[in-house]
């Protein structure tokens, strides 16, 4: 595609990510969480999988350990370097791609699974929809997309109260610094869960499930219908 002067620059958000610092050195349950997701999705050896916004590559490496061919994609070269170290330490092969949701290279209808966790909120809404249609185009008919992100579950009755409650929750339960929560509210683009659901179905996905299990966390399991099937 020709470079357009109106195309959104994904690199604008580089270094801003409120959660990156904590992701780099946290010792949490991300391996177990990734394994649980991949098992639920029924990953098989030989599947072609993309993890977009892969961060330090935990899920990508878990998928490779299951025998999948994995493209670990991230806009941040620093995160991709961590993903490569992770892969080397675990002795698995992943293919890294330095690109974003709006720029990753793909063959149409080629992936058996696309995963994106906590990256979509870096794009304003119009560009979220562009990213979701690219992911739709990249998937094989009948294949799944697993999306997790920070979304607003309800309307703010009082922004001050809602934001402070959210900050307290994340500080207490996830060990986030207050600054990272503030950066998220001020400079990133989380949107409402119902907006995400509508975008996903308008793009053509069938919504298998939407789960809002923690304050501001939305998890979506989608499927690209086969031709002739209703979405």
Ligand X SMILES: C[S@@+](CC[C@H](N)C(=O)[O-])C[C@H]1O[C@@H](n2cnc3c(N)ncnc32)[C@H](O)[C@@H]1O
Q: Which residues bind ligand X (CB under 6 A)?
A: 10, 13, 17, 19-20, 23, 30, 52-55, 74-76, 79, 100-101, 117-119, 122-123
Q: How far apart are CA 221 and CA 38, in angstroms?
A: 12
| Residue owning tokens 């995400």 | 196
Sign of CA dihedral 16, 21, 22, 24: positive
CB nearer to ligand X: give 51 or 112. Answer: 51
Instruction: Return the number of the residue (30 or 206) whose C-beta is nearest ligand X.
Output: 30
Minimum CB distance to ligand X smaller for 22 or for 206 = 22
CB of 50 to ligand X, least distance (A): 11
User: To the nearest whole angstrom, how small is the minimum distance from the Cβ of residue 122 to ligand X?
Assistant: 4
Give the CA diameter of the chain. Answer: 50
C-beta nearest to ligand X: residue: 55
Q: How far is the CB of 160 from ligand X (least distance, A)?
A: 25
For ligand X, give the closer residue by CB, 55 or 218. 55
Give min distance, CB of 55 to ligand X, in A. 2
Q: Which long-range contacts (CB under 8 A, 24 or more apart) does 184-188 make?
A: 184/18, 184/19, 184/121, 184/150, 187/13, 187/16, 188/13, 188/16, 188/17, 188/18, 188/121, 188/122, 188/150
CB of 189 or CB of 231, closer to ligand X: 189
Nearest-approach distance from CB 229 to ligand X, in angstroms:
29
- As given in the structure block, the two tokens for residue 65 are 């350990």
- Confirm if 32 and 11 have CB atoms less than 8 A apart: no
């Amino acid at each position: 595609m020709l470079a357009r002067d109106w195309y959104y620059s994904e690199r604008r958000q580089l270094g801003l990510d409120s959660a990156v610092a904590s992701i780099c050195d946290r010792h949490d349950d991300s391996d177990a969480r990734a394994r649980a997701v991949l098992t639920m999705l029924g990953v098989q050896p030989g599947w072609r999988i993309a993890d977009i916004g892969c961060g330090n590559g935990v899920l990508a490496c878990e998928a490779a350990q299951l025998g999948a061919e994995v493209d670990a994609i991230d806009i941040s070269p620093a995160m991709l370097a961590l993903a490569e170290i992770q892969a080397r330490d675990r002795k698995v092969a992943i293919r890294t791609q330095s690109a974003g949701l709006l720029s990753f290279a793909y063959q149409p209808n080629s992936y058996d699974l696309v995963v994106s966790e906590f990256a979509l909120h870096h794009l304003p809404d119009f560009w979220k929809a562009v990213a979701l249609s690219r992911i739709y185009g990249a998937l094989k008919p009948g294949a799944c997309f697993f999306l997790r992100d920070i979304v607003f579950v309800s309307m703010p009755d009082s922004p001050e109260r809602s934001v402070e409650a959210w900050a307290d929750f994340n500080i207490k339960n996830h060990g986030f610094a207050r600054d990272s929560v503030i950066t998220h509210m001020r400079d990133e683009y989380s949107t409402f869960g119902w907006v995400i659901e509508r975008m996903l179905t308008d793009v053509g996905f069938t919504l298998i499930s939407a789960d809002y299990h923690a304050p501001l966390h939305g998890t979506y399991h989608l499927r690209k219908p086969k031709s002739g099937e209703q979405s």
